[in-house]
Amino acid sequence: MTLILKLVLAPLLVVGSTLAGRRWGDRVAGTLVAFPIVAGPILLIATLQHGTEFGARAASASLFGLVSLAVFAVSFAYLGRRYGWLPSLLLSWNATLAADVVLMPFAAGPYAGLAVVMAGVWTAHRLVTRIDSGEVRTGGVPAPWWDLPGRAAATGLLVLTVTGISAAVGPAVTGMLAPFPIATGVVAAFVLGGQGPAATIRTMAGVIRGLTGFAAFCFLLAILLGPFGVAGAFTAAVAGTLAVHLACRAVPVRRVPTTAPQGPART
């Protein structure tokens, strides 16, 4: 059962969110990819493999991993204004790993983690929305045939890797790595390459807004896995995520564009 979950659940969620994002636009794509569509299955599998205490500690550490994911979104939004998708992606992944290393010693309980990630989300959203010019570019380059299979394969590889090493590295490292931006990175790269920096900034803003629901998911898992067990905690966490996302969508997006010119993306 756990092998099936590793190979099927997260890749299917990534493909579904990708198709929905293509249907409803950049901000929706960014928000959907910030759902725990990869970290959720990783935490579920780790909990099934190692027990609810392990899962709760991993979920608590994932809150700090979300700060690193916000670092990725900000880095990619800014780098994409000057560079092509590949250097932007590699540099942003390095920034994410550096943030993981810095935050790892401070990864503590879920309440501290929730406070830290909320502060990080607010800061990251301010940094990205200030460079959103509101420019709209229609069309773009159609995604190649291997786009969806590539996303599914990359997601499956991350799930297999993190859950495979979870026993050796422990819940803290497992939790920090669970939100690593594989799916987000693929989405960001395709948006930058096909639609340009303006659409990329909007997508990364959507990712950051989506982290509030992601944080609710991890927080609820961390505090509920012990008393409620796997089924109850994951059900409550998914419901909490949806509730927070709906509340966030009701809040209008404030954009504070910068006056600095945006250069074209270069490969």
Q: Is residue 171 part of a domain?
A: yes
Mean pLDDT over the full length of the chain: 84
Q: Is residue 188 part of a domain?
A: yes
Domain assignment of residue 111, yes or no: yes
Q: What is the pLDDT of residue 34?
A: 63
pLDDT at site 182: 80
Confidence band for 231, pLDDT divided at 50, 70 and 90: very high
pLDDT of residue 134: 65
71 has a pLDDT exceeding 90: yes
Q: For residue 101, name the pLDDT band (cuts at 50, 70, 90).
A: very high
In angstroms, the CA 111 to CA 103 distance is: 15
pLDDT recorded at residue 185: 86
- On whether residue 257 sits in a domain, the answer given is no
Structural domain including 193 reads 2-249
Phi/psi at 84 (5° precision): -75, 180
Residue 66: inside a domain: yes
pLDDT digits (tens, 9 = 90+) for 26-69: 566 666 766 787 888 889 999 999 999 999 999 999 999 999 99
What percent of the chain has pLDDT above 70? 82
Tell me whether residue 104 is in a domain. Answer: yes
Interval 120-159: pLDDT, tens: 999 999 999 998 876 555 555 566 777 778 778 877 888 8
- The answer to whether residue 267 is domain-embedded is no
Residue 237 lies inside a defined structural domain of this protein: yes
Q: Are 73 and 207 in contact (CB under 8 A)?
A: yes
- The domain total for the chain is 1
Token code pair at residue 36: 């725990």
